[in-house]
Structure 1
Amino acid sequence: MGVQENGDGVGDKNKYRRMDSDAADDGILLSSNAQCHEAVFKRKNNVQKFVFACAVFASLNSVLMGYDVGVMSGAILFIQQDLKISEVQQEVLVGILSIISLFGSLAGGKTSDAIGRKWTIALAAIVFQTGAAIMTLAPSFAILMTGRLLAGIGIGFGVMIAPVYIAEISPTVARGFLTSFPEIFINLGILLGYVSNYAFSGLPVHINWRVMLGVGILPSVFMGFALFVIPESPRWLVMQNKVEEARLVLSKTNENESEVAERLTEIQMAAGLANAEKYEAKAVWHEILYPSPAVRQMLITGCGIQFFQQVTGIDATVYYSPTVFKDAGIKGNTQLLAATVAVGLTKTLFVLVAIFLIDRVGRRPLLFVSTIGMTISLFVLSSSLFFFGDGKLGIGLAILSVCGNVAFFSIGLGPVCWVVSSEIFPLRLRGQASALGAVGSRVSSGVVTMSFLSVSRAITVGGTFFVFSVISALAVLFVHLCIPETKGKSLEQIEMMFQNEGERQGGEVELGDVERLVRRQ
C-alpha cells in the first residue's frame, strides 16, 4: 500500500511538473502573442502618424492659395482707396492670379516628373513667397501686379502637385481622407484671410492691406521644415529606378510587409511599361491629345470635375462676398468683413465633415449631396437679392444662402474634386494630366473672378448667381454620367476599371499598364 501510494505520489508530481511546464509554455506563447500584437499596433500607429504628417506638410502650399483668396476679398477695398485703381483693375488684380497660375500648373506637371514631387512642392513655396513679398512692398499698381503674377505661378505649382503627391504616398484605405487635406488647408487659408482682413482693417489705409498680404508669407516658411520630414513619392522613385528607396518609403506608409510587397510590385509593373515605352513628355502629350477610349474617359472625368468646381462660382462667392453682402444691404467695411468671417468659418467646418465621410460613404454620394445643395443655395441667394431688397429678411437670407453654398461645396465638390482628379490617371500620365486638369480649374476660376463685377453690373448680382445655380444643376448631371466610384481601390485598380470601361465603349481591347506588361512578359 505504501509503495502504491509512493508510486502514485511520484506520478502526481510528474503530472504536476508537466502541467507547470505546459502552463509555462502557454504563458510564453501568450506573452509572445501579446508582444506581436503590441508590435503590430505600434507599427500601425507609427505609419498613420507618418502619413498624416506627410499629408499635412504637403498641403501647406494650399494655405497660401486659400489665404490669398480670402485676404484679397477684403484687401481690395483698401487697395482701391490707397492706389486709386479702377473697377477693371480690381477685376484684373483679383482674377489674374487664377489665370497666371495655369502656367505654374502646366510647368508643375513637367517639373514634378523631372525633379520629383517633393522638390516641386518646395519650389512652389519659394516662388509664392517671393511674389507675396513684392506685393507687400509694392508702391504702385504695376509692382503689385508683378508680385501677383509670381504668386500665381507659385500657387499653380502647389495646387497641381499636392494632391498628386498625397495620392501617391497614401495607403489605399485612407487615400480619400488624406487627399482631401489640400482642400482643408485652402479653407483654413480662406478663413485666416478673412480674420486677417477683420483684424487689420483698423490700421491706416496705406498700411493695412500691406500687412494683410504680408502675413501670407508665414505659412511658406514652414515648408522648409517640411522638407526634412516628407519623403519622395515611391511611384516617382520607381520611375527613376530607385526601387530600394521606394521600398523604404512604402515600409513607412503601409502597415505590413505584404502590403509593401504588393504595392511595390504593382508600381514596378506600371513603371516598367512606362520606362519601356520611353517615358517622355512628347509621348505623354501625344497620348493625352490623341487618347484611347479609356484615357478619354479619364480626361473627361478629371478635367470635367475641375471645370465644374470653378464655374459654379465658388471663387466669385469667396472673393466678392463683401460685394454680395453690400448688395444685400449690409453697410460699413467692418460689418462686411465680419460677415465674411462667418462664411470662412462655415467653409472650414464643413470640409472637416467631408474628410471623415469620403472613405466611408464614397465619392459619388458626397458629390450628389454637394451639387444638389449648391444648386438650391445659389437659387435662394439669387431670389433673395432679386425680391427682398435691403431688408433684414434679405440680409438674413443672403448670409444663410452664401454660408449654405460654401458648406455644400466644402462637403463634396471642393475636396472630392482633388481626390478624384489625382487618383484616376495612370502613372505614366499622372503628372501631366493632373496639370492639365489644374489648368482647366485655374482658367475657369480666372474667367469667373475677372468677369464677376462686369457681369453683375450688366445682369445684377442676383442674376449672376442665378446663372451659377443653372451651371450647378448641370454639375449634378455630370456627376451622374461621368464620375465613377473609386472608394477602396488602389491607383492601379482604378486604372484597370477605366480600361475595362474603355473596352466596352470603344469596342476594342484596351489593356492597362499592368495587364499589358504581364502579357508582354
Structure 2
Amino acid sequence: MDFDPPKKPKRNKYAFGCALLASMVSVLLGYDLGVMSGAMLYIKDDLKISDVQIEILAGILNLYSLIGSFAAGRTSDWIGRRYTIVVSQAIFFVGAILMGFSTNYAFLMVGRFFAGVGVGYALMIAPVYTAEVSPASTRGFLTSFPEVFINSGILLGYVSNYAFSKLPTHYGWRAMLGVGAVPSVILGIVVLWMPESPRWLVMQGRLGDAKTVLDKTSDSKEEAQIRLADIKEAAGIPENCTDDIVQVSKRSHGEDVWKELLLRPTPAVRHVLVAAVGIHFFQQCSGIDSVVLYSPRIFEKAGIKSASTKLLATVAVGFVKTVSILIATFLLDKIGRRPLLLSSVAGMIISLATLASGLTVINHNVHTVSWAVALCIIMLLAFVASFSIGMGPITWVYSSEIFPLKLRAQGASLGVAVNRLTSGVISMTFISLYKGITIGGAFFLYAGVALVSWVFFYFMLPETQGRTLEDMERLFGNFKWKLAKNRNNNIKEVSNGGGNDNGPNRQVQLGTK
C-alpha cells in the first residue's frame, strides 16, 4: 500500500513579496559600504585629505546611523513600520544628493550625516517588519533578505566604482556617491503598496486590519487564527475579543518599554537583550566592515598594485559575498540558526588566522612571495563567504525575532545601534590599527575576537527555528538551565517536587517541542 507523506506548505508568495520589498531598503547600507571603498581612493587625491580624515569619512556614517536606529524604534511604534521605511528612504535621498554635489570635506560630511541617519532607520525597520509579517515556517528564509540586499548593495557599489573610475577624478567619486539617490526614490514609492505589519496593527487595536494581513501572509487560515491569538495575548487583548477595532492600553503604544528592557527586565528578557546585543557586537568586531571598506588597501598590502586591478578584485569580494548569502537563505530554515552560526564563525576564525599569516609573510619579505599572495586572496574570499553564509544573515534574523512584541521595535533598534557603533569604531581605526600592529597583526586580532564570539554563541544562543515569535521569551528563559542539565545529567531536576531526569514534566519545563 502506497503512503503519501504530508506535503510541506507552499511558500507564501504574498509574504515573500512583502519581505522582498521591505528588505530592499537595506541595499542603501551595502551600496554605501561598497562604493566608499573605491571612492575613498579618488576623494583623497581630489580633496587632498589625510588617512585619518579618510578613516573618519568612511566610518562616521555608522555613528550617524545610531541616531536613525534609535529614532526608528519609537517612530515605527508611532507611525507604523511601513511609513518608517518611507522616512528612511527620504532621509537617505537627501544625503546622497548632498554627497554627490559636495565641494569640500565639510560639505561631504554633512551628506554623510543624512545618509547615516537614513541607513540607521532602514537597518532597524527592515528585519523587524519582515519578521512580523512572515509565517514561522519561512521566517528565517524571509528575515535573511535584509542581509541579502546589504550584500547586493556592496556588489553594486563595487561595480559602480569600477564603472565610474574611468571618469575624471573630480567627477568620478561624486557620481559614485550621488547615484545612490536613485534606488531610494524608487523604494520609497514602492513600499507604499505594502501592507502594515499585523503586530503593529494589533498594538493600535486594529484587529480587523491585522486579521486581513495575517490571512494573506500565513500558510493556512488555521495558522492565521493562531498567530492572531498569540499576538492579542502578547498585546494584552482578551482572546475572545472579536471586534475589528478595540481600545488598547497606553503601554501598547510603546511607552515605558525602555524600563522593561533595561531597568527592570525579567531573566528571560535580560537573556534576550544580552543575546541580541552580543551577536550584533561580535558581528562587527570580526572586522567585516574593515574588509569591505578597505579591500583595495588589503589587496595592495597583499601585492596587487594596479588601481583598476584592485577595484576589479573588490568586485570578486562582492560577488562571493552575494552568492554566499543567497545560499544561506535556503539553509536557515532547513538546518537551523545555531548550527549554521557556529559553523560560520569557525570558518571565519580559520580564514582570518590564515589570512593574517599570509600577510605577515608578505610583510617580512622584500620580494614578492607568489604563494602568499594567492593564499591571502583566497583567504579573504573565504572569510567573506564564511561570514555571509551564517554570521551575516543570522544576526539580523535573530535580533528581529527574539524580543517580546511590546519590546521588539526598541530592542531591535538597540541591537542595530550596537552594530553601527561597533562598526564605526572598527572602520574608523583600521588604518591606524594596521599601521600600529601591522596588517597581519590586525587580522590576528580579528581572529581572536571571532574565537571569543564562538564561545559566546555556544553558551548564549538557543535554536529558534520553527518557534513562533510569541514563544521566544519562554525559550530564552529556559535555555541556560537546559545547558546546565546537558552538562551534568546527575543534577536533580526541580520540577513538581523533584523526580528523575526522564520524567514527563521535563519536556514541559524546558520548553522543548
Same structural fold, with TM-score higher than 0.5 when normalized by the shorter chain: yes
Q: Does 1:455 align with 2:455?
A: no
Q: Classify the secondary structure of the residue corresponding to 2:304.
A: coil
Correspondence for 2:207: 243
1:280 CA displacement: 5.8
Amino acid at match of 2:48: K
Paired residues, number: 467
Structure 1 position 209 matched with structure 2 position 173: yes
Question: Separation in 1 of the partners of 2:179 and 2:308?
Answer: 20
Specify the alignment match of 1:340 in structure 2: 314
Structure-2 residue corresponding to 1:131: 95
Higher Rg of the two aligned structures: 1
* Structure 2 CA distance for partners of 1:419 and 1:57, relative to 1, 3 Å: same
Question: Which residue is 1:465 aligned to?
Answer: 443
Aligned to 2:503: none
- Separation (CA, whole Å) in 2 of partners of 1:51 and 1:279: 25
Correspondence 1:409-488 to 2 at 5 A:
409-488=387-466
CA RMSD of aligned residues (A): 2.1
Q: 1:286 aligns with which of 240, 247, 259?
A: 259
Partner of 1:14: none
Paired position in structure 2 for 1:115: 79
Distance in 1 (alpha carbons) for counterparts of 2:451 and 2:480: 27
Task: Identify if the C-alpha distance between structure 1 residues 508 and 72 changes in structure 2 by more than 3 Å, giving closer, same or farther.
Answer: farther
8 Å CA contact 1:293–1:503 kept in 2: the answer is no
Report the alpha carbon displacement of residue 55 of structure 1 after superposing the two structures with TM: 1.0
Cα shift readout 1:308-328 (whole Å, capped 9, x = no counterpart): 000000000110011111111
Q: Which residue of 2 aligns with 1:306?
A: 280
The answer to whether the 8 Å contact 1:293/1:502 transfers is: no
Q: CA deviation at 1:218?
A: 1.8
Counterpart CA distance in 2 for 1:322 and 1:499 is 45
SS at match of 2:205: coil
Indicate the residue corresponding to 2:373 in structure 1.
Answer: 395
Whether the 8 Å CA contact 1:67–1:186 is kept in 2: the answer is yes
Look up the SS of the partner of 1:232 in the other structure: coil
Letter in 2 for 1:452: F
Change (3 A) 1:202 1:114: same
Match of 1:142 in 2: 106
**Pairing 1:358–2:332 present:** yes
Give the Å deviation of 1:485.
Answer: 0.1
User: With structure 1 as the length reference, what TM-score do the two structures score?
Assistant: 0.86
Structure 1 residue 371 corresponds to structure 2 residue 335: no
- TM-score by length of structure 2 reads 0.88
Partner of 2:30: 66
The answer to whether the 8 Å contact 1:60/1:219 transfers is: no
What secondary structure sits across from 2:195 in the alignment?
coil
Assess if the C-alpha contact under 8 Å between 2:90 and 2:188 holds in 1: no
Match of 1:19 in 2: none
- Structure 2, unaligned runs of 5 or more: 1-6, 239-247, 484-492, 496-513
Which residue of 39, 48, 68 maps to 1:104? 68
Contact 1:128 1:153 in 2 (8 A): yes
Q: Deviations over 1:375-402 (max 9, x none)?
A: 0110011000101344222221111111
Match of 1:8 in 2: none
Task: Give the AA of the match of 2:194.
Answer: I
The Cα shift of 1:281 comes to 4.8
- CA offsets 1:239-276 (integer angstroms, 9 cap, x no match): 00000000110111013221111111111111126954
Match of 1:36 in 2: none
The 1-side partners of 2:54 and 2:281 are apart by: 24
Give the alignment of 1:249-260 within 5 angstroms.
249-260=213-224
Q: Contact between 2:86 and 2:189, CA under 8 Å: does it hold in 1?
A: no
Q: Is the 8 A contact 2:91 2:115 kept in 1?
A: yes
Q: Which amino acid aligns with 1:317?
A: V
User: Are residue 200 (structure 1) and residue 201 (structure 2) matched?
Assistant: no
The equivalent of 2:54 in structure 1 is: 90
Q: 8 Å contact 2:343–2:390 — kept in the other structure?
A: yes
1:289–1:262 Cα change, 3 Å:
same
Q: Which residue matches 2:323?
A: 349
Instruction: Pick from 157, 166, 175 the counterpart of residue 139 of structure 2.
Output: 175
Corresponding residue for residue 81 of structure 1 = 45
Query: Aligned-pair distance for 1:498?
Result: 2.1
- Report the Cα distance in structure 1 between the residues aligned to 2:319 and 2:173, rounded to whole angstroms: 21
1:12 aligned residue = none
CA distance in 1, matches of 2:130, 2:137: 13
The 3 A distance-change label for structure 1 pair 279 and 244 is closer
Distance 1:502 1:193, change over 3 A: same
Q: How big is each residue's C-alpha offset from its partner over 1:117-142, in whole Å with a ceiling of 9 and x where there is no partner?
A: 00111100110011001000001110
Aligned to 2:487: none
The CA distance in 1 between the partners of 2:188 and 2:443, in whole Å, is 41
Q: Which structure 1 residue ranges, 5 or more long, are not aligned? A: 1-39, 510-521
Question: 1:224 deviation in Å?
Answer: 3.4
Q: Distance in 2 between matches of 1:393 and 1:340?
A: 20
The 1-side partners of 2:376 and 2:204 are apart by 53
Q: Residue 503 of structure 1: CA displacement?
A: 8.6
Given that 2:333 and 2:465 are in contact with CA atoms closer than 8 Å, whether structure 1 keeps it comes out as yes
Residues 128 and 154, structure 1, Cα contact 8 Å, conserved in 2: yes
Mapped partners of 1:228, 1:282: distance in 2 = 27
Once residues 504 and 276 of structure 1 are traced to their aligned partners in structure 2, the CA distance between those partners, rounded to angstroms, is: 35
Q: Does 1:224 align with 2:188?
A: yes
| Greater helix content | 1
